Structure 1
Amino acid sequence: LSPVALALIFFYSLTKRFTSATHFFLGLALAIAPIGAWIAQTGHIAPAPLILGAGVICWVAGFDLIYATQDYDFDRREGIRSLVVKLGIAHSLRLAQVLHLFTFVTLIAFGLAAKLGAFYFCAMPLAAAALFYEHRTAQKLDLSGINRAFFQSNAFVSAIFLIAVCVDRLL
């Protein structure tokens, strides 16, 4: 499976030349990792990794939309395609909110499908709070704020998810 993921990652940069959906393509490239890891560990595909993969696609597309707002002028001038150029900054930020709401829903659905317990579900509001913080900061359209929110919030969401799954499995 890793050659497929590698090909998608390499191909991602080229997608900016022919489609505005580059953010979803990046999400797909990263979503292959948890699905592939699940298959490698269990030897089969199941609903849980597919749900998680859908969540990763939406999470990555959402944060990539926020991050791409910084490149709006350059991308328009250079003919680089993105949903930010196609929809405008305000609509792209709204789409990112919807995608991150769907991400939260898929994290809950993943917990149910993977039969995770109370610790996992109690930790998920922390991930939601980090995503909310990211959007509140992005609305200000402050470059340094977007960078800080982007890196801190997404690192926090990743860490919360990892800790929640690991601790829940160990309990």
Structure 2
Amino acid sequence: MRKLKKKIVYQFLAFLVPLFTFLSPPWLLISGIGPRWAQLWLLPWALEEGPVSGAFAGLYLGLVLDGMNLAGSTQIPALILLGLWWGRLGRKENYVYKKFSLGFFAWLGVFVSGLSIWLQTIFFVQKNLFFIFNAWFLHNLFAGAILNALIAPLLCPLIMKYFLREKQERYARNIHH
């Protein structure tokens, strides 16, 4: 019962992701670019809950974040893809719980999401191939990727330990038997 309550609290925190996106602390910003809170929430959820739940969580987060953004590009395909991918990784291997792996997955997640938005902007919004050479893309991509890669090894294990420990407890029991 206690685990269920903690999981419900963690699901409620998904409603706060847009708030975290707007109200990132200034000391967490690199040249005005904050961490990608959606990926930081989605990574532990998908690793623990699996690919289907990760895809639906990515869809939810994408819809909420796109509702706040009036630009022509969307985060939905990238977040669904990341939810599926991270969920499959969580089902297959136990090495994903290492801190380096979490940081690397968060870095890749921001990279995939940023690339998706950039390609959508080039081909669907601007419809201009000269848009490829804008420096804002590289600045946003690398600033967000660096921040998530540094924050994920600190934040994701705490989230997994406090809210989502079910898989880690099974893994620990299998080692001792």
Normalising by structure 1, what TM-score? Answer: 0.39
Higher RCO, Cα 8 Å, sep 6+: 2
Normalising by structure 2, what TM-score? Answer: 0.38
